[in-house]
Amino acid sequence: MIYLKTDDEIELMRLANHMVSKTLAEIGKAIAPGVTTISLDKLADTFIRDHGGIPIFKGYRVGKLAFPNSLCISVNETVVHGIPGDYCLKEGDIVSVDCGVKINGYCGDSAYTFCVGEVSPEEKRLLKITKEALYEGISYAVEGKRIGDISHAIQEYCERSGYSVVRELVGHGIGRVMHEDPDVPNYGKQGYGLLLRKGMCIAIEPMINMGTKNVKFGKDGWTVCTCDGKPSAHFEHTVAIRRGQADILSTFDYIEN
């Protein structure tokens, strides 16, 4: 079931997404060598609650499994869904932080991959291409296009640059709950898939690997890593479908400005 949002609902979603974006900016300020990922999670949890939001990842269930934390923090070869813990960030790490917030009954979801100190040129390029691919996909998130147009744009941009696209994990619809229909893969065929309509809201989130596209799932039921141990990057925006141009509800401005 796909729920089309009114303009008023989209503005409520924008508020939730800006709360996510501000949270990611707070985490970005705190990222440094020697910082534990659990301390970043606690910082985010406090920031979200102090500003009237609910961290919607915490307690999110897949079957019998409930995610234990407020952030997904995925370091180096971890693609997504990393569980915060005692790991101390090191100079040269890359760390993907995924955050979800609910406020006023609506959800926001965004992710950003940060550098810890100085990282290698190869990893900088991976991050650059992954973020650019996100915006390539967003450029097709308009009324009258299809999901496959978004998917193909991301896949083509990344593979042309020598990277691989994770298949097992995809973007998604979003609204009153974090995961709604439709799925939004990062690979696909142009001109195919669901027709995009004004009022649809989707989270577009390329997960791009430096090496093989193949991933493995950890024994904890959440953590997803690359099979070859090479690094992965993850960037995500929540977008409302409009006529003519996508309406990006989250922002990286708080992080980058």
Per-residue pLDDT of the chain (257 residues; tens, 9 = 90+): 999 999 999 999 999 999 999 999 999 999 999 999 999 999 999 999 999 999 999 999 998 899 999 999 999 999 999 999 999 999 999 999 999 999 999 999 999 999 999 999 999 999 999 999 999 999 999 999 999 999 999 999 999 999 999 999 999 999 999 999 999 999 999 999 999 999 999 999 999 999 999 999 999 999 999 999 999 999 999 999 999 999 999 999 999 99
| Tokens describing residue 153 | 């744009």
* Burial class of residue 11, CB neighbours in 10 A (0-12, 13-18, 19+): middle
Task: Locate the domains of the chain by residue range.
Answer: 7-256
| Tokens describing residue 245 | 């141009």
Instruction: Identify the CATH assignment for 7-256 out of 3.90.230.10, 3.90.1150.10, 3.30.70.20, 3.40.630.30.
Output: 3.90.230.10
CB 237 within 8 A of CB 222: no
Q: How does pLDDT run across 110-141, given as a tens digit for each residue?
A: 999 999 999 999 999 999 999 999 999 999 99
CB 209 within 8 A of CB 230: yes
Backbone angles phi, psi at 14, to 5 degrees: -65, -40
Q: How does pLDDT run across 69-93, given as a tens digit for each residue?
A: 999 999 999 999 999 999 999 999 9
Rounded CA separation 150/204 (Å): 9
Rounded CA separation 60/186 (Å): 23
Length of the chain, please? Answer: 257
Supply the DSSP string of 85-107, one letter for each residue: -SPBP-TT-EEEEEEEEEETTEE
Supply the DSSP string of the chain, one letter for each residue: ---PPPHHHHHHHHHHHHHHHHHHHHHHHH--TT-BHHHHHHHHHHHHHHTT-EETTTT-EETTEE--SSEEEEETTEEE-PPP-SPBP-TT-EEEEEEEEEETTEEEEEEEEEE-SS--HHHHHHHHHHHHHHHHHHTT-BTT-BHHHHHHHHHHHHHHTT-EE-SS--EEE-SSSSSEEEEE-SS--TT-SPBP-TT-EEEE--EEESS-S-EEE-TTSS-EEETT---EEE-BEEEE-BSSS-EE-S-SHHHH-
Q: Global pTM?
A: 0.98
The pLDDT of residue 87 is 98
Looking at every residue in the chain, the average pLDDT score rounds to: 98
**Sheet with strand 232-234: strands edge to edge:** 164-165, 207-209, 232-234
